[in-house]
């Protein structure tokens, strides 16, 4: 809970928008997100806060624009930039080869993991033990994509990550595969469940922008890289993730190489090679 109190003290930067705004106003940077993903984006009352929301506000600032956040289902955020409903999508979005076919991604800003949540008394102790189990995921996420490859597993898809966690608590499913940081938050906030040490995969988050908006891609990349260099990006991360659990996966990614997450080979390799990333 420490990180949440810290986040609350920071206060909210951005307001959710009730009236849809088209991404045509030159002074408004419209961001598509799914505010169900703490600590990257979640609601504090009427406001959407979190690492992505704050970083996007800083980027908008550098661009001389005002940030407007549009909250929607996760599986709609990429379509929102493709159709011009939003200028950017920032929602802890993992770069995958498939997604790179439909949108452009900025340089990655965070390395992340897919982690496994199980009941405290579960016999599941590693990714290999998921064979033949019922696994809950959030629809359209990389957890959903990767869970599909688990041998003989039944995949239950939920529209919100927390709904998958609730199903696990109620004993309806055996495990949840979900991004590491929200996983930690859900485990912290609920009794009777635990996080496995071994990560399921490693991946990278980046901001998605429409293929035909190369100019904005360049501007956002410049702003993002400035924020990293100035230390402002890390300051935002540190507000939401306390240093005792902020390990390699939460550090700003500075290299230019695009992520290759999402390929089958990568997924398998990551599942085999990834070491435990939680303490
Ligand atoms: N990182 C995951 C993905 O990109 C989940 C993101 C989310 O649920 N907001 O699919």
- Does the pTM surpass 0.75? The reply is yes
Class of domain 2-109+206-268: alpha beta
Query: Ligand 1 centre and the CA of 95: distance in Å?
Result: 9
Regarding the beta carbon of 240 and ligand 1, being less than 6 Å apart is answered no
Q: Omega of the bond prior to 175 within 30 degrees of 0, cis?
A: no
pLDDT at 269: 40
Closest to 278 in 3D by CA, of 247, 237, 232:
247
Q: Are 185 and 39 in contact (CB under 8 A)?
A: yes
Regarding the beta carbon of 93 and ligand 1, being less than 6 Å apart is answered yes
Regarding the beta carbon of 74 and ligand 1, being less than 6 Å apart is answered yes
CATH superfamily of 114-201: Periplasmic binding protein-like II (3.40.190.10)
Q: Do domains 2-109+206-268 and 114-201 have the same CATH topology?
A: yes
Q: Are 94 and 204 in contact (CB under 8 A)?
A: yes
Ranges of each domain in the chain: 2-109+206-268, 114-201
pLDDT at 136: 98
Please tell me the residue having the least CA distance from ligand 1 atom 3: 141
Regarding the beta carbon of 201 and ligand 1, being less than 6 Å apart is answered no
pLDDT at 253: 52
pLDDT at 78: 98
Please tell me the residue having the least CA distance from ligand 1 atom 7: 92
pLDDT at 22: 52
pLDDT at 77: 97
Atom of ligand 1 lying closest to residue 91 CA: 9
Regarding the beta carbon of 200 and ligand 1, being less than 6 Å apart is answered no
Query: Ligand 1 centre and the CA of 219: distance in Å?
Result: 24
Cα angle 199, 200, 201 (rounded to 5 degrees) comes to 95
Instruction: Spell out the per-residue pLDDT of the chain, length 279, in tens.
Output: 334 434 443 444 444 444 444 566 679 999 999 999 999 999 999 999 999 999 999 999 999 999 999 999 999 999 999 999 999 999 999 999 999 999 999 999 999 999 999 999 999 999 999 999 999 999 999 999 999 999 999 999 999 999 999 999 999 999 999 999 999 999 999 999 999 999 999 999 999 999 999 999 999 999 999 999 999 999 999 999 986 554 444 445 554 444 444 444 344 444 343 333 333
């Amino acid at each position: 809970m420490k990180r949440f109190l810290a986040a609350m003290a920071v206060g909210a930067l951005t307001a959710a928008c009730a009236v849809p705004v088209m991404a045509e106003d030159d002074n408004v940077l419209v961001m598509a997100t799914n505010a169900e993903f703490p600590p990257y984006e979640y609601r504090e009352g009427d406001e959407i806060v979190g690492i992505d929301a704050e970083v996007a506000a800083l980027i908008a600032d550098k661009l001389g624009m005002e940030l407007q956040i549009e909250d929607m289902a996760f599986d709609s955020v990429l379509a929102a930039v493709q159709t011009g409903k939003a200028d950017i999508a920032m929602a802890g979005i993992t770069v995958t080869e498939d997604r790179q076919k439909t949108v452009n991604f900025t340089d990655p800003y965070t390395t992340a993991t897919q982690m496994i949540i199980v009941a405290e008394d579960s016999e599941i102790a590693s990714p290999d033990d998921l064979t033949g189990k019922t696994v809950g995921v959030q629809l359209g996420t990389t957890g959903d994509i990767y869970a599909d490859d688990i041998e003989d597993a039944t995949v239950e898809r939920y529209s919100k990550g927390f709904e998958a966690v609730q199903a696990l608590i109620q004993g309806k499913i055996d495990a949840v595969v979900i991004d590491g940081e929200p996983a930690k938050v859900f485990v912290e906030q609920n009794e009777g469940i635990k996080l496995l040490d071994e990560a399921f995969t490693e991946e990278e988050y980046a901001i998605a922008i429409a293929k035909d908006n190369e100019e904005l891609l360049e501007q956002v990349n410049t702003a993002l890289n400035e924020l990293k260099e100035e230390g402002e990006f890390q300051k935002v991360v540190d507000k939401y993730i306390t240093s005792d659990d902020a390990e390699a996966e939460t550090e700003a990614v500075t290299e230019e190489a695009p992520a290759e997450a999402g390929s089958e080979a990568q997924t398998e390799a990551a599942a085999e090679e990834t070491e435990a990333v939680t303490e």
